[in-house]
A and B are shown apart, each in its own frame.
Chain A
Amino acid sequence: MSSLLIDYTLHLADTTLILSQRNSEWCGHGPILEQDIAITNISLDLLGQSRNFYQYAAKLIGGEASEDSLAYLRKEREFKNLLLVEQPNGDWGQTILRQYLYSQFQYLLFDKLQQCADEQLAAIASKSIKETAYHVRWSSEWVIRLGDGTEESRNRMLKAIDELWRYTGEMFVPAAYETIVGVSELKISWEVKVNAVLSEASLIPPSEGGEAVFMQSGGKEGRHTEHIGYILTELQYMQRAYPAAQW
């Protein structure tokens, strides 16, 4: 089986798993109960999506590989997730913006992926996109509420844009294994949608004027920011300390 397809499936699995893990850190700490439930529901959706991708990758790899071995026993450099999703939660504004920037991209990506020739990837995408549509709507509304809210919330959103924008460029630069959907072609649609939401939020979209932001890259190839090691330490601790433990 094609190693490109395996790598691509792992990239999709890792990105959804790591964002799910980050969002789950909010469990019990959300600003209000309803939003605590919302962010953890989104976390659960992403975990379900990542399980589907890992199960498919395990089937492609064959042998002893399983969804658990792929999630729990691979090292930092083997993870192919986007840098954006491993960034720290920061405050609520930064978590919301990270979710929005990614969900808006995921929606466009999965819309194409559900039409691709690989039946299983297409099935996972068309199953997931309905959930992603919720995530886009919920996070867009929060970006607008905070950006167009108080001076404090607006300042925090400006800071969040400053922190996160540099990790968005990577989404549109294809890795060698990204042959199924042309991600560079999604850039314009993404910018149009993101700019509309940021403008509605009275925030200035960095892609419209201003100095060009240097874009970080490498996550898709396993070159990460320092955060990934800490995330995996927590995520993988049980399986590393007690191999094959079950409960």
Chain B
Amino acid sequence: MVAATTIEQKKVWAILETVTDPEVPVLTITDLGIVRDVILHPPLGDGGIEVIITPTYTGCPAMDMIAMNIKLALIENGFRNIKITSVLSPVWTTDWMSEAGKQKLKEYGIAPPNPRQQVCNNDLFAPDEAVQCPQCNSHHTHRISEFGSTACKSLYQCDDCKEPFDYFKCH
């Protein structure tokens, strides 16, 4: 994340902090770490603004909606000539998710991603990651399915409280 240097940039970042992920509405796009830069007065006209974002997964259908919501939030706050640019590189990873975002996920009932250096194992039939149950905090859980309700999640179940839950998988 690029530090907000001017008052106007700080204002834009504050607006971006109100835009949420339509699939996981407790997370803002700044929690997710998908806003890469805010450029004021890019060479496209007076009062213009360019917001650079990066997708989580290539096929994530939420990205088009997120781009539109950013535009709407900025228009509501008086900005004009808004350009949203999506860049692929450097590649987004779950390490870019903020600590506040991870805490919000957990409170919402989704286990937050483990740090990447611990996991992201490509071995076949590797043991399940030790994922903490967001309900009862037990580590006694098992994976039901590597793929879940959205591209970013897999499905787990807690062996203690028996509750099934989504895990925002490390990526």
Residues of A near any B CB (own CB < 8 A)? 34-35, 37-38, 41-42, 44-49, 51-52, 119-120, 122-124, 126-128, 130-131, 133-134, 136-138, 140-141, 144, 197, 200
Contacts and interface: CB of A to CB of B under 8 A. Distances in A.
B5 interface: no
B91 A131 contact: no
B88 interface: yes
B146 interface: yes
B60 interface: yes
Contacts of A42: 147
A122 B61 CA distance: 22
B108 interface: no
A113 to B, nearest CB: 13
Given A44-B151, A130-B91, A34 B58 contact: no
Contacts of A48: 55, 57-60
Interface string B122-145: 111100000000000000000011
9 contacts: A34-B155, A38-B147, A44-B151, A45-B57, A122-B89, A123-B89, A124-B88, A138-B146, A141-B125
A37 B91 contact: no
A41 B124 contact: no
Given A45-B151, A48-B59, A126 B91 contact: yes
A172 to B, nearest CB: 23
Interface centre among B60, B122, B149 (most CB of A within 10 A): B122
Given A127-B88, A137-B124, A34 B144 contact: yes
A140 B148 CA distance: 19
A134 B171 CA distance: 10
Contacts of A123: 87-89, 91
B122 A133 contact: yes
A31 B61 CA distance: 25
Interface of B: 55, 57-61, 87-89, 91, 122-125, 144-149, 151, 155, 171
B147 A127 contact: no
Contacts, number: 73
B58 A144 contact: no
Given A44-B151, A45-B57, A131-B57, A38 B146 contact: yes
B148 A51 contact: no
B167 to A, nearest CB: 14
A160 B148 CA distance: 28
A65 to B, nearest CB: 19
A49 B145 contact: no
A36 B118 CA distance: 29
A140 B59 CA distance: 22
A51 B58 contact: yes
A51 B58 CA distance: 8
B60 to A, nearest CB: 7
A127 B91 contact: yes
Nearest to A46: B59
B124 A52 contact: no
A136 B145 CA distance: 16
A51 B86 CA distance: 13
B57 A34 contact: no
A128 B171 CA distance: 11
Contacts of A126: 88-89, 91
